[in-house]
Amino acid sequence: MVDDAVLQNILAFGPVYILIAVRAFAMIQVSPLLSSEAIPQVVKIALAGFVTFAVLPTAEVFMAANSPSGLVTLPGGTLTDLRYEPFSLRFILFIIGEGIIGIIIGFYLTIIFAAFSTAGQFFSLQMGFGASETFDPIGQVENPLMGQYLNIVSMLVFITIGGFHRLFLGGFWRSVQTINIISLIEGRETVVGMLASGLSRLFLDAMVISLPILGTLFLTSLATGLISKAAPQINILSEGFPISITTAFILLFASLPFMTEAFSHVIDSGFRTLESLYPQIGRQITGGGGL
């Protein structure tokens, strides 16, 4: 029976399966879109179990622990004991470490997605929508209307460019092939640097995305201010908001094709940075090519 073969394969590598499943579940709990509360926890657990079984045969950094000596060679040339002893303190620490790896993967991608929401927040106030907020299912927070609009556009772009394909292959599968908690500890400085650069790039990407609309709205506000000085009888409060809103909508409509290209570039750049991190702190992948 196929089901018996699947179960026997899981049981044969039980400790390794649990460790990888914890990493997958932690990543799903934090990753954009998949972390939404609209997705039942049972579905997330089932998805984590399925992807774990799919990548289990290629988890060489874990399988090395099943050797008689239990020693695995790290990039620095050191040898570390990775023998798994279920129901022991060491195994519990391994589980916590795998959860941290999954959280780091999902959190970095969440940082990339936060740039789109931040870009909408930059010009929501200037166009007159600063007081209107909606619930953001990605960040689980209240978000200005324009930030939520850009979030929806980014979600569609993410699906269109095969974001889930890159998430589970380039993000999760490559991590299982290359790194474990020991290599994460060895390369902690590189990981912290990547997260710090991701936070700084968040605001840079948000500014680049919002700058055309933000700059035009600034010029619009400047023009309406000059008009109010030249013609004080005009009620600038009643006339300025419609002008700003109309100008912003026209710019959004005209720049949407270019904005989707920028979104695609930001998401793709985030995945490339994440995938380039694994060989730096873990084992090199020989063969197989890129994704």
Mean pLDDT by 10 residues, the chain (291 residues): 56 76 90 81 89 80 50 41 65 87 88 83 71 52 72 86 85 84 83 84 84 81 74 66 79 84 87 84 58 47
* Cβ atoms of residues 213 and 119 within 8 Å: no
Global pTM reads 0.76
Cβ-in-10-Å burial (0-12, 13-18, 19+) of 290 comes to exposed
* Cβ atoms of residues 110 and 202 within 8 Å: no
Which position has the token pair 């979600």?
155
pLDDT at 78 (0 to 100): 38
Residue among 219, 243, 239 nearest 231 (CA): 239
Q: What confidence tens digit (pLDDT) does each residue in 259-273 have? A: 888 888 888 888 888
* Cβ atoms of residues 124 and 148 within 8 Å: no
Task: Kindly write down the DSSP assignment for every residue of 179-222, as one continuous string.
Answer: --HHHHHHTHHHHHHHHHHHHHHHHHHHHHHHHHHHHHHHHHHH
* Cβ atoms of residues 86 and 15 within 8 Å: yes
